[in-house]
Structure 1
Amino acid sequence: MKERGLISILALSRDQRRSRDYLQDKLWSTKEATQAQTSLRRALSNIRKTDPALEDVICADRADVWLRPARWCVETTRDPPDVELLENLRIRDPEFESWRRDQQARLVDSARAPPRQAPYMAPFMTAYMTRAEQAEPERRFDIVMIGAPASDKERFAREYLACILQRRLRELGPTTICEEPRLDATNAERIELRSHIEGRNLVVLLRLVGGHLRACHWSGHATLPFALTAMQASDQLSTLVAQAFAASLAVLRSASGAPSPPGLRLQTASQLLFSGARDKIDSAETMLCTLPDVGISRAWRAFGRLTRAIEFQQFDTDLAIEGLQLANDALTDTPNATVSALAAIVAMKLDGDIDLGFHLAQSAIAVDDQNPYALNALSQAHFFRGTFTEGFEQARRARLAAIGLPNNYYWDMQACLSALGVGNIDAAIGYARDSYLRWPRCRPPLRYLVALHQLSGDTETAATYAEQLRRMEPDFTLRSLSDPAYPVETLRRLGLLEAVQTP
């Protein structure tokens, strides 16, 4: 009976995929974790033994279980349901029954809801929507561990690194860990992981290969400590994972024509939200509306509302309510580090709920401690709580984890703000300068370069940056820094604006 429940949950899930933890929680919630893991493995084995045809339908790796869409179809209807969903399936687990009731309620609500009226769209937006609906399928990533490990210790370290890579690459598309290359690796990129032991360290080599000729697009290596705690805190690990993600994103951009796959469109939209330009933020929000209505797209839409509130001083009630609601809705989906991180920042900055923000940031780190958005959320939470040293350390790690991302100037800027928390003005100026050099048209680093150089007495350099800022903000003067509505909140919160000499 649990086997039928397992297939039912997968069939009614988005993308017909769920994490092993989710399935264990819904079907074996009353058992210990190890017992639940064993029960799930046994259920998967029973399904395949009962019907050999299902062996090509249900798939699993170390993290997820899913149904292959090419061999499985779920039909839906808008007719009002006159029977109870899965009425003949009785599983004695309170979590499963709760899930079944939720699905029944959604089915009833969906059937009763009036047809949605499409919002007005300009012609260019309609054309974009048409292309998006015809988007090519998501590209897959296979993480292939090459060669046999010399010891159990090396095997564990390799698998730990592979899991970290898998969590990051899922943002671009479905990702699988393999012991050997798959024969049906069409529409997939492959990251090959090799390693050897050198003293007390693990030397790792990663190669990104793809295309018909399996050409090498990128390679990177690192020397990592064997001790797990030291490996987790290693700057080399953060840098290597960030470089692998950035290389994979670059391959998607170069391989994809128009239309592009959903994972790439999501990355493009999120990048535009950090531009600080109203037209690009508008384009980002339009693009996000064309993506599937899942947790990650809702979270980015919530972040877009926050961006409007801060960058354009649109602190109206409706915008805040909409942003908070989108963030809350996003959290109901499968746990995701980026979703929790964005929801944390929205909660802290739109609602002033520092405790919730700190909790969500910790939840994001628990899912993926190498995610740059999660590290940034935890850094900001520490800053708001007054634990500035911890905030600065997390901002430094977040900056490393964001190496190679198109919008890495954002993490430079966050490091600048965190450096101000620990009173390191010189470091803050350096980070703001790096941010400015990566994106000269971005206004936040220019604002802080003006203020910080003015604060340190270098009025000539401050005037130079002020002149550049006026090209984007014609009304800017040094007196603007004293305006309570001007977006230099960190300087205001730390009391540094009082020391800035303004005419």
Structure 2
Amino acid sequence: MTQAQKEPQTDEVRVICIRLFGVFALSWEDGDEIRVRSTKIRAMLAMLATAPEGTRTRAWLQDMLWGRSGHEHGRASLRRALTDLRNLFGEDFVDLFEVNNSEVRLHLERIRITGTLEDGDFLEGTEISEDGFEEWIQTQRKSNRTMLSAVARTRPGRVAQEILNRGLHLQPSIAILPFATARGYQGPVQLGDMISEEISRSLSRSHMLDVISHLSCRTLDARSVALEEIREKLDADYVVAGNYRTQGDHITLNADFIDIKTGRISWTREMSSSLADFLRGGDDLVGGLAGEIGRAVMDTSLDLAATAPLPDVDSHALLMSAITLMHRLSVQSFAKSQTYLEEVIERVPDSAMLHGWMGKWHCLSVVQGWSSRLDEDTATAREYTARALDIQPDNSFALTMDGLVNNNLLRRHDVAMRRYDEAIEIDPNNAMAWLLKGTLHAFTDDGARAITFTDRARALSPLDPHGYFFDALGAAAKLSGGDYQGALELADRSIRANRRHVSTLRARIVALYHLDRIEEARESAETLLRADPGFNIRGYMRDHPAAEFEIGRVWAQAMREAGIPN
């Protein structure tokens, strides 16, 4: 009988402690040692403990630990290792692990990382003669040494946990506390709780934020809770708290956006709405505040990344900055975005999401005409999205980005559509997947579905930092469906947010032309050519995904008539 099997337990969930710095050690939380004799099982536990969501694919583990053994022998070795792991933990195995045909998951809520870098290097003394493992462990050790000095200065004694958190914590986490009734006012019972719940739901639609559950937040009283308590209990980076007052059918909300790390109030907002409209499900109050919160997260991340050395900046702030800069449509911002992404990938080399973002970066480099190596950047974009799917085949965002690359760069429309469908099946709230699926329908002469899907995407993305992009592609969908006035309205809204977005200007030209506003179409064509002097119809028909379909030819003719040169 093994150490882990020795006594039946009560219904209370058992927690294991893993020491990853210095000599590897494993024990139950009560101190009972769990002896792991196999070096490769120790390595596998470390790999799972440091993985995003505690999950690695079986193919990845096999390649890292048994890559030299050949495919069939490697598969058999991994099966034996998982059997040994099951025997080691006995009945507790099902509470700690989840294993299926494609991946292995360690439930991170069931583990506690112990020790600091003062105990030694990462997995000190663990040596495995496998190319994949050697590369992985060197990357981990290099990343840890880079961040050690900054982390040690701020939170000595918790260095190991802090470094691991920097890797696993790729999205900023935010807590929306129940809004209190303003002093001197009487409000409907539980209204403040309802408001915070609706804001949490709206924010949770975004794949770029980790929203603390409303049930967790409602246990804290915003009027008396300390920031340190929020940090410890909810592990949040930002918190939104405030109060409300009602007068007749009028409700006024005051909200503070607070950076928990610094304790600084980044902004205060006052928003008003009809109480009856809110209770009926109206979105003005909730949607408006959700959008403000999303922009505040991005702005705060940009400030952090711009004012501190990269090793001192949390991974989630670097990622948010990279995403924001990627969509600013300036060469300087775009280049800096790549630098930030590279830094985060070096810290977390096995994140499907990060590889997906880097795939999109290379895709945009080609699409926006900034690449001087089209074939190389196309291949690199494909490599990143393929790597993302190798890491996590069922990652909705990675599937979406692979669809983007297949559609915009490789012209494999059927593959792209399958990727979008798979992404939506996994995550029905994936706004980007709905948007790109709708755009693909627009480019392939299916205007009705294009409008339906892009409208759904825009409804699911109230706080997207590149909302102009959603409006621009929504305009293309409206064009394909013959709704030229609707297309013009979306294009104008997109241009107000980003005047240099060339594809929005193209949509505006086509909409104006079909509305018989020819002079305005020509003025927009001149604006487009000032923004992109090299743009012409021949290049458009060569590069645009819609060029091989009827709708692409219709759009090209409208732009030609408006003055775009052949």
The letter for the 1-side match of 2:481 is: V
CA distance 1:217–1:484, shift in 2 (3 Å): closer
| 2: CA distance, partners of 1:44 / 1:144 | 30
Aligned residue among 464, 469, 490 for 1:410: 469
Residue 465 of structure 1 and its aligned partner are, at CA, apart by 2.2
Residue 95 of structure 2: aligned partner = 43
User: C-alpha separation between the residues in 1 aligned to 2:267 and 2:385?
Assistant: 36
Cα 1:254–1:362, aligned 2, differ >3 Å: closer, same or farther? same
SS of the residue aligned with 2:173? strand
SS of match in other structure, 1:297: helix
Verify: 1:463 aligned to 2:506, yes or no: no
Question: Which residue of structure 2 lines up, in the alignment, with residue 428 of structure 1?
Answer: 487
Summarize the Cα distance change of 1:15–1:241 in structure 2 as closer, same or farther, 3 Å threshold.
farther
1:330 CA drift (Å)? 1.1
In the TM superposition, what are the counterparts of 1:148-187 in structure 2 within 5 Å?
A: 162=200, 165-166=203-204, 168=206, 171-172=208-209, 178-179=216-217, 180-181=219-220, 183=229, 185=231
- TM-score with structure 1 length normalisation? 0.64
In the alignment, the residues of structure 1 paired with residue 496 and residue 505 of structure 2 have an alpha-carbon distance, to the nearest angstrom, of 10
- CA shift, 1:158, in A, is 8.7
Report the Cα distance in structure 2 between the residues aligned to 1:274 and 1:184, rounded to whole angstroms: 33
Shift of 1:439: 1.2
Is 1:298 aligned to 2:358, yes or no?
A: no
Change (3 A) 1:234 1:364: farther
Q: With structure 2 as the length reference, what TM-score do the two structures score?
A: 0.58
Contact 1:189 1:208 in 2 (8 A): yes
Residue matched to 1:95: none
Q: Is the 8 A contact 1:378 1:391 kept in 2?
A: yes
Say whether the 8 Å CA contact 1:410–1:435 is kept in structure 2: yes
Distance in 2 separating the partners of 1:42 and 1:193: 42
Distance change in 2, residues 1:360/1:242 (3 Å): farther
Q: Is the 8 A contact 1:224 1:234 kept in 2?
A: no
Tell me: CA distance 1:275–1:65, structure 2 relative to 1, closer, same or farther (3 Å). Answer: same
Query: Which residue pairs with 1:481 in the alignment?
Result: 537
Q: Does 1:13 align with 2:48?
A: yes
SS in 2 for 1:450: helix
Write the deviation string for residues 456-479 of structure 1: whole angstroms up to 9, x where unpaired: 443321232233233333355xxx
Q: Does 1:271 align with 2:324?
A: yes
Take 1:399 and 1:347, find their aligned partners in 2: how far apart are those partners? 23
What 5-or-longer segments of structure 1 have no aligned partner?
A: 28-38, 46-58, 83-106, 117-129, 196-203
1:61-111 deviation digits (Å, cap 9, x = unpaired): xxx6375557577833697526xxxxxxxxxxxxxxxxxxxxxxxx54333
In the TM superposition, what are the counterparts of 1:97-496 in structure 2 within 5 Å?
A: 107-111=130-134, 141-143=173-175, 146=178, 162=200, 165-166=203-204, 168=206, 171-172=208-209, 178-179=216-217, 180-181=219-220, 183=229, 185=231, 188-191=237-240, 208-211=257-260, 215=265, 217=267, 242-253=291-302, 257-259=307-309, 260-292=313-345, 293=349, 294-312=351-369, 316-334=374-392, 335-383=394-442, 386-476=445-535, 480-485=536-541, 489-490=545-546, 493=549, 494=551, 495-496=553-554
Partners of 1:447 and 1:488 within 8 A in 2: no
* Contact kept? 2:457, 2:470, Cα under 8 Å: yes
Distance 1:484 1:252 in 2: 36
* CA distance, structure 2, for counterparts of residue 328 and residue 108 of structure 1: 20
Aligned-pair Cα RMSD in Å = 5.3
> Cα–Cα, structure 1 residues 435 and 346, in superposed 2: closer, same or farther, change >3 Å?
same
Q: Secondary structure at the match of 2:239?
A: strand
- Conserved 8 A contact 2:290-2:462: no
Q: Does the 8 Å CA contact 1:141/1:191 hold for their aligned counterparts?
A: no
Cα separation, 2, equivalents of 1:206 and 1:10: 43
Q: Is the CA contact 2:48–2:55 (under 8 Å) kept in the aligned structure 1?
A: no
Q: Distance in 2 between matches of 1:40 and 1:389?
A: 52
1:362/1:218 Cα in 2 relative to 1: closer, same or farther (>3 Å)?
farther
User: Contact 1:270–1:284 at 8 Å: present in 2 too?
Assistant: yes
Which has the greater radius of gyration? 2
How many equivalent residue pairs?
421
Q: What is the alpha-carbon distance in structure 1 between the residues aligned to residue 304 and residue 332 of structure 2? A: 27
Residue 501 of structure 2 corresponds to residue 501 of structure 1: no
The one-letter amino acid paired with 2:295 is: A
- Aligned-partner residue type, residue 327 of structure 2: F
- Verify the 8 A CA contact 2:505 2:528 in the aligned structure 1: yes
Structure-2 separation of matches of 1:194 and 1:241: 16
Could you say if the C-alpha distance between residues 160 and 132 of structure 1 is closer, same or farther in structure 2, counting changes exceeding 3 Å?
Answer: farther
State the alpha-carbon separation in 2 of the partners of residues 190 and 164 from structure 1.
15
The 3 A distance-change label for structure 1 pair 158 and 468 is closer
The CA deviation at 1:234 is 8.3
Cα distance in 1 between the residues matched to 2:423 and 2:17: 26
Query: Per-residue deviation at 1:492?
Result: 6.6
For the residue of structure 1 that corresponds to 2:531, the secondary structure is: coil
Q: 1:351 to 1:162 in 2, by over 3 A?
A: same
- CA deviations on 1:381-404 (whole Å, 9 max, x unpaired) are 444565432321221232344444
Match of 1:89 in 2: none
| 1:462/1:159 CA distance change after superposition, 3 Å | closer
Partners of 2:435 and 2:473 within 8 A in 1 = yes
Q: Deviations along 1:324-347, whole A, 9 cap, x unmatched?
A: 121011123355443332222112
Instruction: Answer yes or no: is the 8 Å Cα contact 1:344–1:356 preserved in 2.
Output: yes
Give the SS at the match of 1:248. helix
**Equivalent-residue separation in structure 1 for 2:277 and 2:93 (angstroms):** 32
> What secondary structure sits across from 1:12 in the alignment?
helix
**1:417: Cα distance to partner?**
1.0
Give the stretch that moved more between structures: 289-298 or 445-454: 445-454
Q: Which amino acid aligns with 1:81?
A: I
Q: Is the 8 A contact 2:488 2:511 kept in 1?
A: yes
Please state how far the C-alpha of 1:415 moved relative to its aligned partner.
Answer: 0.6
User: In the alignment, is the contact (CA less than 8 A) between 2:491 and 2:504 conserved in 1?
Assistant: yes
Alpha-carbon contact 2:48-2:54 (below 8 Å) kept: no
Shift of 1:422: 0.9
User: 2:202, 2:287 within 8 Å by CA — same for their partners in 1?
Assistant: no
- Alpha carbons 2:242, 2:256 under 8 Å: kept: yes
